[in-house]
Structure 1
Amino acid sequence: MDNEQIKATILEYVQGSDHPDLDVYRRDVKPELLDLWLRRLDQYGALGGFQGQHILEAGCGFGWDAVGLSLKFDAKVTATDILPSMIDGVTQCLAAMAAKGKPLNVEARQADICTLDLPDNSLGGIFSSEAVEHVHSLEAMYANCLRMLKPGARLLIVNDSNCYNPEMRDRNREMWVERDESFEHAQWLKEEVRPVEHANAKPYQAMREDIIREAAPELSSEQVTKIARATAGLVRPEIVAAVAAYQRDGSVPVRPENSWCRNPETGEYAERLLDPFEMRDGLRAAGFRTQLRHLFTKMPHRLLNGIAIRPINEKLFGMRPQFVLVAEKPA
């Protein structure tokens, strides 16, 4: 299928569901941006070796990358997301296309990439764009992806939540405070972002306070607030353990610098800041052959896309936060 046909298909696909959680994404699908999107898909397909493969997308959102990869590279795509509301919308969009006699080679599946149970050595590629900053355990994700990939196949991670970029750091940390403390922000999530997913949204600190009061109702309000602030980034069992430690010796945890905005019940992160070098090393430790890259398209920066010198990479991340990890399972 040529690029004009792919663009027309995407514009039709995104109108296939009236699911309210898709509205915020549908606003981003602008015809004038589709040429850039297609150029990005070309880069992803080349780096991932996706032509004619069965690809898994981890964190598909409403599925337009999954559809684009399928059409552009004649690939079967299993599109997964941990959020049921996203998969409901994707399923509706796929069904609408099929009802028009335009079926797409995409399967939607609600799943956690850390525990997804596809067969060993069954996938010709895995793709994830702007999603891993939410994953509760990157180590578990890497291990499961390695298991599911065929020997020689690649995991391609694209992200811009980069701790080396000052603008991204400032933006994320400002957002974390709102998500953790603000009831107004929670209401905005319900009304303007994803009303189904966030129907019961509550500030994360308030959620931690509920857990602390449940574990130790005798604590004062001041003590509850102190522990709640210190346990940002922890999940329920860890918070309960922190309460016990506080009662025993008065100690409280130290919140992590780049990853403390986290749902204490599900473990999912809200846009944590990622360290691309740590991720590269983690993928290598999991058993992948891994390269850290950039996606510059213009000269002279394009010459630096694959450079392996860390100080230069850090400077490049300061200019532009986006990074790519190409992780290949050894044959």
Structure 2
Amino acid sequence: MNIVFMGTPDFAVPSLEMLLDNHYPVKAVVTQPDRPKGRKRTLTPPPVKQAAELRGLPVLQPERIRREEAVEQIRQLEPDLIVTAAYGQLVPKSILELPRYGCINVHASLLPKYRGGAPIQHAILRGEKVTGVTIMYMAEGLDTGDMISRVEVPITDDDTAGTLFDKLSLAGAELLKRTLPDLLAGKVQAVPQDHEQATLAPNIRREDERIDWSRPANELYNQIRGLNPMPGAFTTWNGQVLKIWASRKPEGAGPGAALGGIAGERDHAAAPGTVLKALPEGLEVATGQGSLWLTVIQPAGKKAMDVAQVLRGTNLPEGTILGQ
């Protein structure tokens, strides 16, 4: 039996390693091309390529998986099963029809919710308390195939996109390990998705990163942690971008408790975006509903740091309005 694995980011690596550690015959890996990264724009291989090369696997990196030359390369591998995890391109019907066991995908949501390229971020952005992983047969649509298995993973108040990414990648590998024996034995009973219940999780756009201070504090808290560690939420200060990397959960006790209140529930009449307090513990900023304490920020041209570090070298007076 020949298995072809298709994936690109860190999320996919545990699934690939599970296949190899359990002696599944992975004939080749398909991943996205190397891309420039960092300030120096250094050409960098994707994590799946790095993991595959460490294990001595052939790696294919077609720019467009739909092109006939890419389809032909995969056809020549004679795959009996294709396993994908966060590959990053829609796989065409010409490839989906190749393997006798089908093409399956390890998707980081409880389908049909959060179809698309950023399900982890959107689950946090929308304040979900539970998400999970679904393994499905791939279809021509965007994450529309029949579901084979799923597992739920709770989202804690302290989770960021980064921590949830790690949890779901491991949960996905474990679910794949449990699912494959029955799938290869012809014992699975796939369930069609209820398309009327579907929601989308498109890739994050620049406008999704900008903080709108007129929104409630709870929503902004979710935005900040949902975009951490990439690409980060931002506002503006003195006409320059100010990245916001961490804040205090509005309902919990935080710096506001020392001021005689609960963080995020302080009444105020200030315009949204106004800095109400500038303390080493954080910046209290007015929102459309309550206030939010920012704890880790990144002024333009500097690294991310605690508010206390910023205040030691920068004048950020109370009454400053962010976002203007």
Q: TM-score range by the shorter chain?
A: under 0.3
Higher Rg: 2
TM-score for the superposition, normalised by structure 1: 0.26
TM-score for the superposition, normalised by structure 2: 0.27
Larger % of strand: which? 2
